[in-house]
């Protein structure tokens, strides 16, 4: 099982690299909502140099809207996280 902040190869705590990348697939949302399920991922590196990506599961920021994005994506292993490690 992939733990977001730990290296999948050696288990050391990773450090997030600057910035993140976002896929660019078009999505539509109800007026005033943001139901964008484009994958937002950030790269991490452990002290021994291993690198991996972590995806963030998106949520609509509108109060009382329970829309959430898919839990997984083809562009990185494991499930997405609810907040960056």
Q: Where are the domains of the chain?
A: 1-85
What is the average per-residue pLDDT within 63-84? Answer: 90
Query: What pLDDT does 39 receive?
Result: 87
- Res. 3: pLDDT tops 70: no
Angstrom distance (rounded) from CA 10 to CA 42: 19
pTM score, two decimals? 0.77
Structure-token pair, residue 52: 């991996």
Averaged confidence pLDDT in the chain: 88
Query: What pLDDT does 48 receive?
Result: 94
What is the average per-residue pLDDT within 46-68? Answer: 93
- Res. 1: pLDDT tops 60: no
């Amino acid at each position: 099982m992939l733990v977001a902040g730990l290296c999948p190869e050696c288990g050391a705590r990773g450090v997030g690299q600057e910035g993140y990348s976002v896929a660019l697939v078009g999505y539509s949302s109800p007026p005033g909502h943001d139901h964008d399920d484009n994958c937002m991922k950030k790269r991490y590196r452990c002290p021994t140099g291993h690198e991996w990506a972590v995806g963030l599961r998106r949520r609509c920021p509108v109060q009382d809207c329970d829309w959430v994005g898919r839990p997984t994506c083809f562009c990185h292993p494991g499930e997405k996280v609810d907040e960056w490690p």
